[in-house]
Amino acid sequence: MNILFVVDPLDQFKIYKDTTFSMMREAQRRGHRIAACLPQDLQWVSGGLVTAIVQQITLTGDPKDWYRVDLLENKALKDFDGVLMRKDPPFDAEYIYATHLLGQAEREGARVVNKPSALRDHPEKLAIMEFPQFTSPTLVTRSAEAVKSFHAEHGDIILKPLDGMGGMGIFRVRQDALNLGSIVETLNKNGAETIMVQRFVPQITDGDKRILIIAGEPAPFVLARIPQGTEVRGNLAAGGKGVAQPLTARNREIAETVGRKLAPRGLLLIGLDVIGDSVTEINVTSPTCFQEITEQTGFDVPAMFIDALEAELKKPR
C-alpha cells in the first residue's frame, strides 16, 4: 500500500516519542510505501481533483537523519491507498478547511483516517459532552457570570480553552476564587471565545490516563501521565511523568462504551483521557502515547493500529 500522512513538518518530529513516526515505521516494516505532506500542501483547482505536493519518503533508521526524500510530486489524494490526517491542534479555521478538502478527496475515492467529517463533528473538548455519565460536571460558555456561578456551586474548578493541546492554557481555581475574573478574561478574551469549565477531579494525583481506542477496541495498557511537583497538569508536554499501567475494568467499560458509539462514525483512532472515573477529553485529531506504552509494556501499539488500518483500507469502497 501507499499511505499518505498529512502532518506537521517532518523536521520538527521528536522521533523518540512521536506516535506518527511509530505508525510510519511499522507501515514501512510491513512493506508499505510512505508519503507525507503538510495541510497547506493540499490544493483543489475547480473542475479538478484534490491534490497535494507530497514527499515520498523512506525511513533511514538514523535518529539524526531519520528520513530520505525519494520523490517530490503533485499527486491526487485518491491515488493513495490511504490518507492519515495527523495534524496536531489547534483546531482552528485552517484545520477545518483542511478537513473540507479531505472530505472532497473522499468523494473522489480517497480513504481518509480519521474521517474528515468525524474530525469536524468531534472537537476534542466538546466531544465529552455526549457522555455525561462519564464526565465531571462541565460547563461550556462565553459568559463570565456563568463561570462564576459554576465556581460558586462546585468550589474547585479547572478552566481551559477549547482549542488547546498538551495542557496549554489550563488553570485551576480553588475555593478562594483567586484571580478567577482575570483568568476568565484571559481565556475567553472578554467574551469573544468559548471556554470549558469542569469541576476539579482530585484523582489527578494518580495520573491523567490516556486510553487508546483502535477500531472501537481499547488497547490493554494505558499511559498514566502523573503531574510533578506543584503542577496540576499531567500532560507530558507540561512535564508530567508517563507511567504505563494495565487497563482497569472500569476504564475498559468506559472505553468500550465510547468506542462502540464513535468508531462507526469514522474514528479509527481515539485517545481517551480519563482522570479517576471521569472522561476529560476525547482526542481524535492526533492521539499520542504509542511509543511510551510500547516501550514500557512490550505491547506493540503501532502494530495494533496498522492491523486496524490495513483492515479498514481493505474494506469495499
Count Cβ atoms within 10 A of the Cβ of residue 279 and give its class: 0-12 exposed, 13-18 middle, 19 or more buried: buried
Mind telling me the catalytic residues? 125, 160, 210, 225, 233, 273, 281, 283
- 95/111 Cα distance (integer angstroms): 18
- Residue 281: strand, helix, or coil: strand
The three cell numbers of residue 225 are: 501521565
Helix (H) or strand (E) holding 151: helix 144-154
Q: Are 213 and 272 in contact (CB under 8 A)?
A: yes
How would you list the strands of the sheet with 195-199, edge to edge?
138-141, 195-199, 157-161, 171-173
Q: Are 268 and 287 in contact (CB under 8 A)?
A: no
The three cell numbers of residue 203 are: 484523582
- 309/22 Cα distance (integer angstroms): 14
Contacts of residue 145, defined as CB under 8 A and 6 or more positions apart, other chains included, come to none
Bridge pairing between strands 138-141 and 171-173: unpaired
First to last CA, the chain: 15
What are residue 155's phi and psi, to 5 degrees? 80, -55
What single-letter DSSP state applies at residue 77? Answer: G
Candidates 198, 225, 236, 211; CA nearest to 301 is 211
